[in-house]
Amino acid sequence: MAVVVTNTVRTPLELVDQLGQYGVATIHEAQGRTGLLAARLRPIYRPVRVAGNALTCEVAPGDNWSIHVAVEQAQPGDLLVVTPTSPCDDGYFGELLATSVRAHGVRGLVIDAGVRDVAELTAMAFPVWSKVICAQGTVKETPGNVQVPIVCAGAYVRPGDVIVADDDGVVVVAHDDVERVIAASQAREENEEGKRARLAAGELGLDIYSMREKLRERGLRYEESSPR
């Protein structure tokens, strides 16, 4: 009793790519420190950055059948997001599946499980964020849901939400928030630009951010070192 939802909404690629200009840390801050996937998801090579529409996929433990099902639902600019229904480290995805999804315009993979053929995937420049690298193969016996809302690595992801992933990890931005987050990311970057120059010149954050008074109120005090 698994379901594939078709004709799901997608975020226009123009917006996806605008959002993809910003790093994961910036976007996470810009949307109010939400949307991060767990830090256990790491890229198989660095540096790397990609943005895409979430193409969601649930898999049974040790069973990658629904990834094959998901390929048919792919559209250019999608980013495959795979979560197992219970924790599993098996290598659900390798070079052949990457070849297949790339042929359908998929830009990369985020998976809260294992991946294999990482030398080949790296040579192909196919970006993957996974929990583990593991050669263990999977079966095709139990279909899973495709293009339904999922929880992946602790984050709630719906089809057509935008995923941005880079060296720092993976963030999801809800479909309806993309424009707002692009604007906020841009504002944050501009704000940081000015700060960066002052900090590089040796000015202290204590002064730039006017922290001294608040620190004193919160009980910070200074004392001379006593002889050791």
What's the min distance (Å) between Cβ of 190 and a second copy? Answer: 13
Q: In this complex, which beta carbon is closest to a second copy, that of residue 17 or of residue 195?
A: 195
Residue type, 191: N
What's the min distance (Å) between Cβ of 54 and a second copy? Answer: 13
What's the min distance (Å) between Cβ of 42 and a second copy? Answer: 7
Q: In this complex, which beta carbon is closest to a second copy, that of residue 17 or of residue 156?
A: 156
Q: In this complex, which beta carbon is closest to a second copy, that of residue 7 or of residue 14?
A: 7
Measuring CA to CA, which residue among 197, 195, 189 is closest to residue 209? 195
What's the min distance (Å) between Cβ of 170 and a second copy? Answer: 9
CB 8 within 8 A of CB 160: yes
Measuring CA to CA, which residue among 54, 89, 73, 68 is closest to residue 142? 68
Q: Angle 146-152-156 (CA atoms, 0-180°, nearest 5)? A: 90
As a whole number of angstroms, the distance between CA 159 and CA 55 comes to: 6
Q: In this complex, which beta carbon is closest to a second copy, that of residue 17 or of residue 149?
A: 149
